[in-house]
Amino acid sequence: MRLKQYITEGIREQDIEKLQEGMELVYTHCMPYINDLIKGGFNYLRKDDQLLYSGRNSDSLIINKKVRTDRKPSDMKVDLHKLYDDLFYKRFKVHARSNAIFCTGVMMVAAGYGNTVYAIFPVGKYQVIWSDDIYDLYNDYSVSNIIKKYKDLSDEEFLKEMDDKVISSYHKGDVMKAIRSKNEIMLTCKSYIGLKNYKFNRVARQYIEMNKDKFPEKEFFMEWYNRYIGL
């Protein structure tokens, strides 16, 4: 039901300047991410070439937030959350469960979290950790079967099996492959900018596709918007 809202919600004329301001923020602070999209062959017309999306509890058109360093799980048991955090840190030197924002390349999935979907743009240096095989670590059937085999989460055999069969399936980097995988993406960065709703996302994707790394100065952006997007 939420996704329908994002698809049908238009951009009000008075919000166009706000969108341009948001794109200026993105192109000022998030160029490592933008450049990685471009290098990855980002194509607006390709269905799987989306942006990073996350459901957030906010109604603002643009958000600019720090990433929490002490994230607590909403569904996963705390002991498992800590175990995964330790295993990811051991392999990638990143606390990927407690010091990350969870994203996906599928807007409908992001719509299940928070009251608003945002296209997420990491500020400055960032990293993504993701798996080809595991859609969602919390709900993965094969992972659950491994956990059921052991009573003690500190058992060395359990930890080895988790590392060999689960954590080893994860990759660090290549954001376009991560997005195209349609699986859960753990994004680590100090802060991020978010642009609200489906229409804003469409404009951002099309701008990146057509203009690459060209800075969206107001006059240029407005001329481009009126020519290719319109109201």
pLDDT, position 125: 97
List Cβ neighbours of 172 (8 Å cut-off, separation of 6 or more). 92, 94, 127, 128, 129
Encode pLDDT of 77-127 as tens digits.
888 999 999 999 999 999 999 999 999 999 999 999 888 999 999 999 999
What are the boundaries of each domain within the chain? Answer: 2-212
Q: Output the average pLDDT for the chain.
A: 90
Please say if the pLDDT value at position 9 is more than 70. Answer: no
pTM of the model: 0.91
Q: Using a CB cutoff of 8 Å and minimum separation of 24, what contacts does 85-90 make?
A: 87/159, 87/162, 87/163, 87/166, 87/167, 88/129, 88/167, 88/170, 88/186, 90/163
The more confidently predicted of residues 41 and 73 is 41
Please say if the pLDDT value at position 26 is more than 80. Answer: yes
Please say if the pLDDT value at position 158 is more than 70. Answer: yes
pLDDT, position 11: 63
The more confidently predicted of residues 75 and 45 is 45
pLDDT, position 104: 97
How does residue 7 score in pLDDT terms, banded at 50, 70 and 90? very low
Percent of the chain with pLDDT over 70: 94
Report the distance separating Cα 143 and Cα 166, nearest Å.
7
Burial 140-176 (b: 16+ CB within 10 A, else e): beebeeeeeeeeeeeeeebbeebeeebbebbebeebb
Mean predicted confidence (pLDDT) in 26-36: 98
Mean predicted confidence (pLDDT) in 134-148: 91
How does residue 230 score in pLDDT terms, banded at 50, 70 and 90? confident
Please say if the pLDDT value at position 10 is more than 60. Answer: no
